[in-house]
A and B are shown apart, each in its own frame.
Chain A
């Protein structure tokens, strides 16, 4: 057994912030009143909201203790497949906090926010350059909203062309948000079975198109797909769709693999969403905020969300399109995330961004090669930025499953990979190292995986893993059966 990175360091217990409350204690002070005090004249609140009464140090200690119970990129390798957990450069945070970029109200007249509009304009242009597509809307607040926006644009396009279509084709390897977004837009989904290598086969598309014809509004596919493989037939698939006026939507979740290697427009893609929190290094922040800009080909541009940023006669202006699908987010989208993404893009430049994808792919293939010694590779085709393994060998011979392997990895000081996704691979472990991990860190990750495999071969089951974390296995069934969702739900 190799030396594990996790230790029994001093980790402090902590109740909720409400446990620290002391009646009458004053926390943050707002400036004293400079005008006469007035009160509610009607509908006055009888009982004040029971917020805690705590000091500054109470708050600092509470949240600092909480933070010490989290695993994060800053602590170690985070090989969560399809999530692109790359390092978040701190210059992004510094720039986003500049008062001239943070303390600005979205209702400022355009002539008083030219700097902010330039950030948006330049980011749109950069995202056009990388994808080859013609126009970009930065408004969607997250990847899922990007999907919804892209599909709404497609729907509006068909309606404007007098065609009321019903179905969207989605391969079985797709992320769950894809079908959920279709439902939200009002489309029914038709699931396509992916081929041997997890790819979408033109034959399967053809078959679906023969069956549903001009009722098909679009096909949604991820490229590289969720198995980390490039969809080589994508242009042929695009031609099939375009032949009947259907659109090709590309989920751009995996753009980190193909910057400077392949442009969606050249693949025949009509619309795609980016995930700025993946490809462009804005922090995931424990589940948000993200941003999901949508890029389109010219024929779909008239339907993008309002307002649009334009550069006319040396000035940035805002314009509303008559045929727009409308707004999908307040303000202009997650502007603070855009600032970070543009900082990252300018920090890397064209050369740097191209290196990002090359190195991400090299790292993924390196891991794949080394891990294949002990773990079954799900698909034997060249990988891009991530690769899928299974628990086949460990399960068949020793009865140890993916979940145990993932939990065992935690004791070695690593975050587990994405498990049981994509759904088309039984016992999947999806590993995405990203370009920001050094070979030394990757070797340590691989060594941990191999050590686990070796211990499994010696009969260890890892049923109680992880053992070194501040809590053990949680009772998820109990949590769902009798939900306690706030302090006031606790049995007294």
Chain B
């Protein structure tokens, strides 16, 4: 094995040093019944020659390229998929820089003297995320947008003085976000209550008022934009909440913040979201990177790692992980979260991407998504494929009623096109039978959009 250097001679040398006859003598503490049954066989599928050997690099390439060809990847299919995961163009330098062994093969920066590279980019990541969301503090990153949002709900419950820990979540939140929040609340007695949406898919304020009176929630979770692509009026929502109820804003698509007011300026108490589209491919859903921001007064209840700037013994500027007394390795069962790391390498990709895209590039990214969507929505409506939510103010994605959806979807696939996410998968109401969530991304051109309109508007 190329990655196991020990030769037979060296093994004998080690055994001699240890005063042992055979390597097997090292396993005497394993009861014989367990030791004797320990053999296993890995099935290498079509590549298996039943010798137990591993595959060479060449064979690995053959096998995995064959698997890869069975997937409808973005280079082969034009797709209009979104709903929380967004295709984007990844600059060459993001891959090149993150493959540097000093970033790739280091550990969580517990030893600041030999981890300044990691620590400084985390500090820059935190700065970028604060400026993105308009919030004063951000942590070193979380696993993904949905788990960051679940952690936000748990944090709101910790902050709450109330015994009953009700939480309201917008019905228009992504089904994945809802599902994951529910799973993470399994340790609590109350499950979140959903707030219905209005005809334009934004939050129903009357329902919000009556539900807050009834449940006295410690937090309300809304999404910006929501799963149907619509922007919510966060300022008004915040005004309608009782003083002791936190507003948690999930931003599954942070490119929206290029054009629209950031939640930090609109009354949000915690802002979470998913940052993978900034430099990381879709990767079938992960690894991605969640971000987590809050107000300064809640700092010590924030989950996850945080990097801070300080000085060293020589008077130089230096970075270190800080405020770790909130964390599991110190606080154990009383920790703010069981999380013991951040999403280092993906946070690095985000930092490189946002730095390289820069102030004007970021504006252009938002503008491109908005322009492509507005053009597509107009063209679809013109051809009789109408939006499900009237007068919705949408950014980059929206829900359309597509007649004969199943058939037209198949027709699109035959033309190497995946037209969107059929929402009947997640919403069982009859009104979602022919609903398609259609998402644009910066790889699209006018031609791609025209082709989609053509396919979706005819049988």
Contact = CB atoms under 8 A, between A and B. Distances in A.
A329 B38 contact: no
Contacts of A362: 6, 11, 14-15, 23, 26
Contacts of B328: 144, 176-177, 179-180
Contacts of B137: 485-486
Shortest 8 CB-CB contacts between residues of A and residues of B: A331-B285, A100-B68, A186-B187, A74-B101, A285-B345, A289-B287, A349-B54, A115-B70
A103 interface: yes
18 contacts: A30-B361, A30-B368, A31-B442, A43-B260, A69-B115, A70-B116, A72-B105, A89-B3, A102-B281, A180-B331, A183-B187, A186-B188, A263-B37, A286-B103, A350-B40, A365-B14, A439-B5, A471-B112
B126 to A, nearest CB: 5
B253 interface: no
Contacts of A44: 259-261
A59 to B, nearest CB: 5
Interface residues of A, number: 202
Given A180-B333, A346-B54, A359-B4, A366 B361 contact: no
Interface stretch (A125-133, A203-211, A241-249): A125-133
Given A60-B93, A287-B118, A382-B29, A38 B363 contact: no
A80 interface: yes
B52 A351 contact: yes
Contacts of A113: 70-72, 284
B344 interface: yes
Given A183-B187, A474-B318, A332 B41 contact: no
Given A330-B147, A339-B64, 14 more contacts: A39-B367, A43-B260, A48-B258, A51-B359, A63-B121, A66-B121, A67-B103, A89-B2, A100-B71, A183-B187, A186-B188, A330-B146, A421-B329, A483-B308
Interface in A210-259: 229-230, 232, 235, 258-259
A305 B184 CA distance: 12
B291 to A, nearest CB: 12
B346 interface: yes
A43 B100 contact: no
Interface in A118-168: 118-119, 122, 125-126, 129-130, 132, 141-145, 147-148, 152, 155-156
Given A66-B117, A470-B116, A486 B74 contact: no
B454 interface: no
A202 interface: no
A447 interface: no
A479 B311 CA distance: 8
Nearest to A65: B117
B231 to A, nearest CB: 6
Interface in A356-409: 356, 358-359, 361-363, 365-366, 369-370, 381-382, 384, 406-407
A120 to B, nearest CB: 9
Interface in B106-142: 106-109, 111-118, 120-121, 123-124, 126-128, 130-132, 136-138, 140-141
A479 B40 contact: no
Contacts of B288: 330-331
Contacts of A310: none
A347 B55 contact: yes
Contact of A327 (B123, B183, B259, B339): B183
Interface stretch (A294-302, A430-438, A448-456): A430-438
Contacts, number: 690
Nearest to A63: B97
A100 B65 contact: yes
Contacts of A182: 333
Contacts of B69: 100, 115
Nearest to A306: B179
Contacts of B260: 40, 43-45
Nearest to A438: B5
B227 to A, nearest CB: 12
Contact of A53 (B107, B358, B393): B358
A145 B343 CA distance: 13
